């Protein structure tokens, strides 16, 4: 069993727990606030600090930092490695404090002197509460990146469990005591976001201490390694900023198009993130430090093999996941969300968004893998250029398509635009990777051989899952009936896919099952 698959599998176990708990959180959110104006305001407000998290706490910063961190670990020594970590954290704290301070002043000024309608005012008030969350979650993400680089994946991944527990508690325990109207109770969720950020950060600090990290102020402007990180960071920041601004623009369009669009699309995104986060994000998280280490040691044969293996196993899992999310969209949404304030009409809107978004899953999976290959080689500019082009296409498509749908179905435009742009992104990244001199020749022979079989089998089990779900009934009232309509087709299709794939000679079924055998022995 490769270290790649073994470590990714261990992390996937923790990620599975956190994602399932995250889905419980979304169920609580949906039941509590539905998909109307208040829900849309909260989703948009919460998304803005997450924009900075992905910009500064993950994404470009980690892509620039981890290869330098691993190079120092292997070639310089731990003292220099920890000095660089402290210099980076010192600089990040200063930058984040400025952003939070300026952001809060700007939001307060807008609320004091601006004249906005109800939904914009509510969004800005919520944003003022959740904006400090960006400092907490950015620092938590950096700590997680450092621990990942030191070979710890399972424990940091469990941090999301803490975050979700706190957020769920804010819905169930705090919100009912916050007021009578939903417009007042929603602020309890904002408080829960802040407390969750604190909890996730504090949870990881003991593990960081055990690794040998001792916090101290190190001027980031006087550290050579930080300057190297900043040189690599520049293009990456542009790319990640472009991506996040594109996402923000998409949600803003939806916010003004109709009161249900943002929340409906947000629920579809959460459902797509379940299979994506379970294995794709887990493997990609492990892959970056692994590839960075191989690149530092000039082991490019192993480098190519890791990419091939990661892409092959990811698509093996996510191709059928995309198909089944598409064919079972409505019963899945109905089972998970259709309670309380989330009505049948809410289900139809979110299911339509999910059908349009589900085909994007394979593209997203490949992008996660291919981007890590470029980052590990110290090349951030190439994926940035490609991502910016694809993001521009995504935004243009969203603007064009949104006018082609009825207001209540406008969220489908965002899903279709994302599907097209993510697939194009993956294709262009692969084309650029093939031109890398260090990796020549790179052909991903395992993936090229098995992909047609994967696609054919995934399509077959998708038809089977659709047929079985239709036979069991479309609209169900009781929870047990809804469970039957979702899980029987998923279980039947999953078993059929696994058996047919094994009979077709694909290595992924055996390799993935090997994770559990190995874990049991250990």
pLDDT score, position 54: 65
12: confidence class by pLDDT, cuts 50, 70, 90: low
Which conformational region is residue 179 in: left (phi greater than 0), alpha (psi within -120 to 50 degrees), or beta? Answer: left
Q: Which is more confident, 404 or 359?
A: 359
Range of weakest confidence among 274-283, 412-421, 448-457: 274-283
Using CB atoms within 10 Å of the CB of residue 455, give its burial: 0 to 12 exposed, 13 to 18 middle, 19+ buried.
middle
* CA 482/CA 486 separation, integer angstroms: 6
Q: What is the mean pLDDT of residues 394-414?
A: 83
Looking up tokens 């480098």 gives 303
* CA 276/CA 279 separation, integer angstroms: 6
CA distances (Å), origin 396, targets 199, 254, 390, 442: 39, 14, 10, 33
Q: Which is more confident, 271 or 72?
A: 271
pLDDT score, position 521: 39
Q: What is the mean pLDDT of residues 452-464?
A: 90
pLDDT score, position 514: 56
Q: Using omega within 30 degrees of 0 as the cis cutoff, is the peptide bond preceding 18 cis?
A: no
For the record, the structure tokens of 172 come out as 């169930």
Instruction: Please compute Rg for the chain using Cα positions.
Output: 23
**pTM, entire model:** 0.77
pLDDT at 277 over 50: yes
Encode pLDDT of 90-141 as tens digits: 888 888 899 899 999 999 999 888 778 787 899 899 999 999 998 888 888 8
Residues near 44 by Cβ (< 8 Å), separated by ≥ 6?
123, 251, 252, 255, 262
Q: What is the mean pLDDT of residues 405-419?
A: 83
Range of weakest confidence among 24-28, 177-181, 427-431, 475-479: 475-479
DSSP for 138-181, please give it: HHHHHHHHHHHHTT--HHHHTHHHHHHHHHHHIIIIIGGGT-SS
Q: What is the mean pLDDT of residues 397-404?
A: 85
């Amino acid at each position: 069993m490769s270290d790649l698959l073994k470590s990714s599998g261990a992390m996937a176990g923790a990620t599975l727990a956190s994602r399932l708990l995250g889905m419980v959180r979304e169920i609580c959110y949906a039941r509590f606030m539905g998909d109307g104006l208040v829900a849309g305001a909260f989703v948009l407000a919460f998304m803005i600090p997450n924009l900075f998290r992905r910009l500064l706490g993950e994404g470009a910063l980690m892509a620039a930092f981890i290869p330098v961190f691993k190079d120092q670990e292997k070639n310089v020594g731990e003292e220099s490695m920890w000095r660089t970590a402290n210099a980076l954290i010192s600089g990040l704290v200063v930058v984040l404090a400025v952003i939070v301070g300026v952001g809060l002043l700007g939001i307060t000024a807008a609320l004091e002197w601006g004249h906005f309608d109800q939904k914009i005012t509510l969004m800005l008030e919520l944003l003022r509460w959740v904006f400090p969350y960006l400092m907490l979650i950015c620092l938590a993400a950096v700590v997680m990146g450092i621990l990942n680089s030191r070979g710890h994946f399972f424990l940091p991944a469990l941090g999301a469990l803490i975050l979700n527990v706190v957020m769920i508690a804010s819905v169930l325990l705090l919100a009912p005591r916050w007021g009578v109207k939903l417009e007042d109770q929603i602020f309890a969720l904002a408080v829960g976001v802040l407390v969750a950020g604190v909890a996730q950060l504090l949870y990881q600090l003991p593990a960081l201490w055990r690794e040998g990290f001792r916090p101290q102020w190190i001027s980031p402007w006087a550290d050579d390694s930080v300057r190297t990180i900043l040189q690599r960071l520049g293009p990456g920041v542009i790319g990640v900023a472009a991506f996040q601004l594109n996402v923000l623009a998409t949600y803003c369009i939806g916010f003004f198009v109709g009161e249900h669009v943002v929340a409906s699309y947000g629920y579809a995104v959460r459902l797509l993130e379940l299979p994506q986060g379970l294995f794709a994000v887990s493997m990609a998280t492990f892959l970056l430090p692994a590839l960075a280490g191989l690149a530092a040691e000039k082991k490019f044969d192993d480098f190519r093999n890791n990419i091939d293996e990661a892409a092959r196993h990811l698509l093996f899992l996510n191709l059928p996941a995309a198909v089944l999310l598409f064919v079972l969209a409505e019963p899945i949404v109905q089972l998970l969300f259709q309670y309380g304030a989330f009505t049948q009409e809410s289900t139809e809107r979110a299911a339509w968004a999910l059908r349009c978004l589900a085909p994007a899953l394979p593209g997203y999976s490949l992008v996660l893998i291919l981007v890590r290959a470029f980052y590990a080689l110290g090349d951030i500019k190439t994926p940035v250029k490609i991502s910016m082009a694809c993001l521009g296409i995504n935004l243009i498509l969203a603007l064009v398509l949104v006018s082609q749908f009825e207001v209540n179905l406008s969220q489908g435009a965002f899903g279709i635009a994302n599907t097209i742009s993510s697939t194009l992104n993956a294709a262009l990244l692969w084309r650029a990777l093939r031109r890398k001199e260090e990796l020549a020749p790179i052909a991903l022979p395992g993936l090229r051989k098995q992909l047609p079989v994967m696609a054919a089998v995934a399509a077959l089990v998708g038809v089977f899952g659709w047929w079985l779900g239709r036979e069991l009934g479309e609209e169900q009232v009781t929870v047990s009936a809804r469970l039957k309509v979702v899980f029987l087709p998923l279980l039947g299709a999953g078993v059929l896919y696994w058996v047919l794939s094994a009979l077709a000679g694909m290595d992924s079924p055996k390799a993935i099952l090997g994770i559990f055998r190995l874990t049991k022995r250990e």
